[in-house]
Structure 1
Amino acid sequence: MLDVDGTPGDRDRLSLLYVIYNARLVRHLRARLGTRWESAEDIAQATWVLVAERLAKCGVADDEAFGWIAELARAATLAHMRGTRSETTTDFTSLAAGLLLPTVPSAEDEALANTVVLAMLDQEPTPLKVAA
């Protein structure tokens, strides 16, 4: 069961962290997994479950949270590789459980979040390339 207490602040923070860091997390996992890069999405999903469970105990600012998330990803990777984390089903159709899940951001929201993060870091954003 997720420990996020269901307050709007926790849900908002989880959603914000997901928007800011999910793409970076998946890239990080793919780079670390080498030939087993296909598992990156599964491990990222397990990582976000750990983030949701431990979010109340996170003592770092949102713009510095990737190190903490990467540590949780390391634990999720080890569990995945060892096969120790059992597959459990969670009924996310219930209203209470559905509120704990971060919403999937649109491409525009992710681009805006990346621009905001870059502005926070005082860097110039690179233009987005449109696939033909």
Structure 2
Amino acid sequence: MTCDDANLPNATLPHAAVTEAAGDDFRLPSVSAGDVLRGAPGGVRLLDVRKAAVRAASRQGLDGAAWIDPLTLGFGHPILAAGPLAFFCVHGHEVSRFATALALVAGCEARYVRGGFAALAAAGAQMTPLPEPAPVADTEGRR
């Protein structure tokens, strides 16, 4: 699949298409956790793209950041029209870089936070406790 094939509403761009479009020497724009906490670059919307299970297990969110389930992020997602964006996942590796590449291919100004949530926490970012997960009912409706 090429990037042109992925220009369908709500289509998810496969990893291979991003790397094919990017080439071997492509470097994704990034920002340090310290710069994020100092408010630079200005006007950037901070997005948490940690996977749902990982985010829930951490029981913490970052003040001022919106969470987007990375499994729902694809072409046609309204957040891609809300740039400029800065994405973070757990450590600033695959998930946030993929989200950044997807946003760039879609024409959105975007970057990822180097070191991800871990770097933001270590730099002293203000955290927000996430709500307790709802109890799961068994097959007979008991909790």
Higher CA-based Rg: 2
- The structure where strand makes up a greater share of residues is 2
- The structure where helix makes up a greater share of residues is 1
**What is the TM-score with the length of structure 2 in the denominator?**
0.25
Of structures 1 and 2, the one scoring higher in RCO (CA 8 A, sep 6+) is 1
